[in-house]
Amino acid sequence: MSHEKEALEEAKKINEEYHYLNTITDKPLEGHMHQGKLSGYTVSVKDAICVKDVETTGGSAILDGYKPVIDSTVSKKVKSQGGLIIGKTAQDAFGFGGFSVNVGIGKKIPLNPFDKERACGGSSGGCAGFTAKTNLKHVSLAESTGGSIVCPASFCGVVGLCPTYGRVSRYGLLDYGNSLDKIGPMGKNVKDTALLLEVISGFDSKESTCADVEVDEYSSFVGKDVKGMKIALIKECFGKGVNEKVAEQVNQAIEKLKEKGAVIEEVSLPLVSEYGLAVYYILAMCEASTNLAKYCGIRYGKMKDCTGKGFNEYFSEIRSENLNEESKRRIMIGTFARMAGFRDAYYIKAAKIRTKIISEYKEQFEKYDALICPTMPVIAPKFSEIEKMTPLENYMMDILTVGPNLAGLPHITIPTGKVDGMPVGTMLIADHFEEKKLVQLGSALE
């Protein structure tokens, strides 16, 4: 059996049981025509990232049937380096969630590869679940706004790396929050993840936020000595709300770095701890409510007969029928926070505090190579537990991941032990464009 056929058959088999893929391609796309860094790898792509002629819905029913006429920059680069794209992965609709349970109407929730009664994490849940479950050489194109790469990677026991904002082109990405969205790699190990980052990084004239900064050979930093590197443990990230057993696993990872010669000290990030979550959700929802306005059934999104209807009536009908509950919640909160009379009190104030949060991080990177903390405060919760959570309790799950996302800082999660049979992730955060340090330190933890 050919590698291509084997890949698709395995994908279909896994998907029947775990629901990781919204779409499986008819044949692996183009990779077999090229030789490159990803030759021999299968690649899954988050459903928010465009792949030419493959249904791309952002996980929402409002885009069912949409087949892009272009490739995103990242999928084009993957194909050019020999990667075999096999399908589009399940996610929270438009990235709105931390568990991949807020899937679009008519779509299936992905199940954790270690326990089917638990969530994969979100919003790139399908990426993480499939990467963990497949037996083939595999990497995944994921995306993060407030933690959507490292959260599911932590819950599914794989490596996830969220790059610096601007490191990877967003051309061809369905937007959630333009100032926050970042495409990044997932893999079974640090080397595979670093390899995919090498392929997708670099300047792109088609995308205005893409930085023209030299790309390091990230995979060459795997296994490099970490002796003398200075790492700061974030004190607040080991406090209230963090499961003691999770913290214990992360402390063991810290000891491992100490044994390898890294210098560990403790720091405090009071602004991130106190205001990070509120600032993130105000800014992200404001941007989301603006971005989703285009899905009105006229230019974009599902359409129906509008004879005899005014714009407001038609627009409301299309969105009411096709957007899920969480999408509607975020649109309404975001619209409220940027309305005249409330903009100064919420949006502008949050933007100012974001600037201060960036400064708080930058001060630490004058002294340290990286910061370290748990990726998530808990192990992957059961679906029965998630059902009982309020929206606020759901949002609180992002408490440890929103900080580096707000600041546009690169961060990586490394599987470090298990609690009750479920994976735990340790997160390392580095200064802008210092992904190589994350690869170096991350591989020391493997």
- Catalytic, out of 60, 148, 219, 273: 148
60 labelled catalytic:
no
- Token readout for 5 is 């056929």
- Catalytic, out of 75, 123, 140, 289: 123
Q: Which candidate, 87, 65, 91, 60, places its Cα nearest to that of 75?
A: 87
46 labelled catalytic:
yes
- Catalytic, out of 46, 52, 188, 436: 46
* Structural contact between residues 195 and 38, judged by C-beta atoms closer than 8 angstroms: yes
Residues linked to residue 143 through DSSP beta bridges, in sequence order: 183
In the 8-state DSSP scheme, what is residue 167? S
Count Cβ atoms below 10 Å from residue 387 Cβ, excluding itself: 9
Complete DSSP assignment for 43-89: EEEETTB--TTS---TT-GGGTT---SS--HHHHHHHHTT-EEEEEE
- Token readout for 28 is 């692996």
Count Cβ atoms below 10 Å from residue 233 Cβ, excluding itself: 17
Distance CA 446, CA 305 (A): 56
235 labelled catalytic:
no
Distance CA 326, CA 207 (A): 29
Look at the alpha carbons of 116, 121, 123, 125 in this order and tell me if their dihedral is positive or negative.
Answer: negative
Q: Which candidate, 159, 168, 242, 238, places its Cα nearest to that of 202?
A: 168
Burial 340-359 (b: 16+ CB within 10 A, else e): eeeeeebbebbeebbeebbe
Q: Which candidate, 330, 328, 409, places its Cα nearest to that of 371?
A: 409
Distance CA 232, CA 236 (A): 12
Distance CA 433, CA 435 (A): 6
Task: Kindly list the catalytic residues.
Answer: 46, 123, 148
